[in-house]
Amino acid sequence: MGISERLRGKQSLNGKPHITSITPQFALPGGEVRISGTGLRSHDMRRPTVRFGDEPAGVVISSDDFVVARVPEAANSGPVVVIPDEATSNGFDLKVAVPIAENLHPVTNPAIDHEGNLFVTFSGSRGQKVPVSIYKIDTSYHVKPFLSELMNAHGVAFDREGQMYVSSRQNGTVYRVAPNGTMSAYAEGMGVATGIAFDREQNLYVGDRSGTIFKIARDRQIGRPQGMAFDSAGNLYVAASFTGKRGIVRITPEKQATLCVSGQNLVGLCFAPGRAAVLATTSSVFHLSWNIHGLPLLP
């Protein structure tokens, strides 16, 4: 067999391109996914055409058995196909997050209260006082100011009783915020405090930009990276880079880490009702249908 034949690789059944998997199975517009299969490269070695629904995608790298493609900005959830020559592959479904609101400045995870309202920070640069620190987005996606007095609001979380907590990266403090917007310090001295999340026992975890994660028990005893959230099985989800790829990383109780959502500029997440999540980038928030149950606020 000559070198050109070896480079072309194997064709799938009936000589048609065939997709067997896409990883991760969830992505934001602009994220990169790996499409695996057979017969995915054209006979003349050109990069194949990749379509997410009707939207053409940028191809980062390609071979006969895999293609790395960038999710188009206008892509929706649905089938992805690869067209190396005249033949089109089978469609393989990918879930793509949908924008909820833009022109914000979240720097880590948003949070959802018991009524389904979403709370997102507008942090500003460190030491900058912005007109609105936290916005409230209701279930109809209407955006309203909620909190104005907090400097450099960062992560938001609700405890089991529905009480809001917000971290400030300006002074390393976590504040408890009443429904009327009044604040009181809950825990202090945590460096550049970033994302926060409650576990099943209502311990509060606070990320620090140095890479430290603090654990604060209900009696406020502090033990020893961006936004975090727990699912109902006890897995921790973190907005981070993993093996050189940016997205949402799942860390199991056994400390096994995998990239489960691909997306650039991701800074945080929270789980929403009905097997879904809200994902925050540096300027926008997205809704993603996801087959995962978040840790419920109520027991």
pLDDT digit string, tens, across residues 99-147:
988 878 777 778 999 999 999 988 877 778 889 999 999 999 999 999 9
- Quote the percentage of the chain above a pLDDT of 90: 45
Among 156, 152, 161, CA closest to 136? 156
- The SS3 call for residue 235 is coil
- 19-48: per-residue pLDDT in tens? 999 999 999 999 999 999 999 988 888 899
Cα dihedral sign, 50-266-24-287: negative
Q: What is the pLDDT of residue 128?
A: 81
The helix or strand, by DSSP H or E, that contains position 245, with its residue range, turns out to be: strand 245-251
Rounded CA separation 137/132 (Å): 13
Amino acid at 248: I
Per-residue model confidence (pLDDT) at position 268: 86
Where along the chain do its domains lie?
Answer: 3-96, 98-289
What is the pLDDT confidence band of residue 4, given thresholds at 50, 70 and 90?
A: very low
Superfamily, domain 98-289: TolB, C-terminal domain (2.120.10.30)
Among 83-87, 196-200, 223-227, name the most confident range: 83-87
State yes or no: pLDDT of 89 exceeds 90: yes
What's the pLDDT score for residue 52?
98
Average pLDDT, the chain: 86
Residue range 231-246: mean pLDDT, rounded: 84
Residue 172 tokens, joined: 């390393």
For β-strands 285-289 and 276-281, DSSP reports them as antiparallel
Tell me the Ramachandran region of residue 65: left when phi exceeds 0, alpha when psi lies from -120 to 50, beta otherwise.
alpha
Given a cut of 60, is residue 69 above it in pLDDT? yes
Which whole-number Å values give the CA distances from 16 to 9, 61, 122, 169, 298, in the listed order? 13, 20, 49, 54, 51
Cα distance between residue 169 and residue 190, in whole Å: 9
User: In whole angstroms, what separates CA 281 from the centre of its chain?
Assistant: 8
Fold of 3-96: Immunoglobulin-like (2.60.40)
Query: Span 205-231, mean pLDDT?
Result: 71
Q: Supply the pLDDT for residue 199.
A: 86
Name the residue among 34, 86, 88 with its Cα closest to residue 62: 34
What is the value of pTM for the model shown?
Answer: 0.74
Per-residue model confidence (pLDDT) at position 8: 46
List beta partners, residue 27. Answer: 96, 262
Please say if the pLDDT value at position 202 is more than 90.
no
| Model confidence band, residue 1 (pLDDT cutoffs 50, 70, 90) | very low
Q: Do domains 3-96 and 98-289 have the same CATH topology?
A: no
Closest C-alpha among 95, 47, 43, 91 to residue 67: 47
